Amino acid sequence: MSENSQFRFGPATGVGSLPGGDAREAAKTVTGTFEDFPFLPELPARGPGADMLGRTAGMLVELYARVEPSGWRLGDRPGRDTKRARSWLGEDLDALEEFTQEYQGPLKVQAVGPWTLAAHLELRNGEAALSDPGACRDLAASLAEGLRQHLAEVQRRVPGAQLVLQLDEPSLTAVLHGRVKTASGYRTHRAVDRQIVEQTLRDLVGTHTGGPVVVHSCAPEVPFALLRRAGAAAVSFDFSLLTERDDEAIGEAVEAGTRLFAGVVPSAEGPLSDPAGSVMGVRTLWRRLGLSPGLLAEAVTVTPACGLAGVSPGYARQALAHCVRAARSLADNPE
């Protein structure tokens, strides 16, 4: 079993982003819905710097990014965009602190992982940092130091929390398969060696010594085995994108103590099935893998399929509450 297998994750939580721009309202919703596994919400509707990429760029140490027409670009000094990102993060932390007084238990914070960051942050020449191995190393080191400081700040504000770090890596599969487009859009950057990808992630996972790391990707072909070897205690994914080709890697991950954050509640607006129906696929997977039904609640956290920034506030609240009910269904009727 992995060293984090004894950590008590909550049965349900959110992915990260929510609609709207009111930090207090978001923190109140999240802490009220997930009493035993809240998370720090992201509110990208506020504009550049409140999005996951901008927020993480604002955490970097001795590297700074600004918004250009093509996206976020690395520069020499902190500018207006960095200051805005840090200001919004501070506002979100103030709100979270207000609604987590006396809280004790797991608390999740999210940041963009090193490879998705390298695929989306531009160098001065307009190409992705991914095009330059040295830039990738510098970015990963800067991110590691920034996350250390961020986690220490969250811990200071919520002393009873056991911090779970989620690294958002939606572009990881594209990086591994050489599918990230160049600035011109006509070519793609070459695939990064799997061992380099794994080692970079392992180094970053190792910086969070106080708790487990979850890696989230809502893209197809999540590299479960690579993430497990890199030390991820849990993998968060869009359940609807799994194929039977993923079975072996998932089975091995569960048996090694890796937790599954199963994104079974749709992150696009629409009618929701009953809670039992939402987790039916998880039970089916379990049977297919020949795993003990009794393990289900111990191995699975129920989440939305991806972030909820693009839906109405009403649907977002409904989807989060649905995760809690679906997790309860899974625990009560694992068969």
Q: Give tens-digit pLDDT for 179-232.
A: 999 988 899 999 999 999 999 999 999 988 889 999 999 999 999 999 999 999
The answer on pLDDT for 1 being more than 50 is no
> Nearest CA to 13 among 45, 35, 31, 37?
37
* The predicted structure's pLDDT at residue 131: 96
DSSP letters for 93-147 = HHHHHHHTTT--EEEEEEEE-HHHHHHHSB-TTSSBGGG-HHHHHHHHHHHHHHH
* The predicted structure's pLDDT at residue 79: 86
Rounded to two decimals, the pTM is 0.96
* Mean pLDDT within 274-289: 93
* Mean pLDDT within 123-131: 95
Measure CA 307 to chain center.
Answer: 9
* The predicted structure's pLDDT at residue 3: 45
Q: Give tens-digit pLDDT for 137-176.
A: 999 999 999 999 999 999 999 999 999 999 999 999 999 9
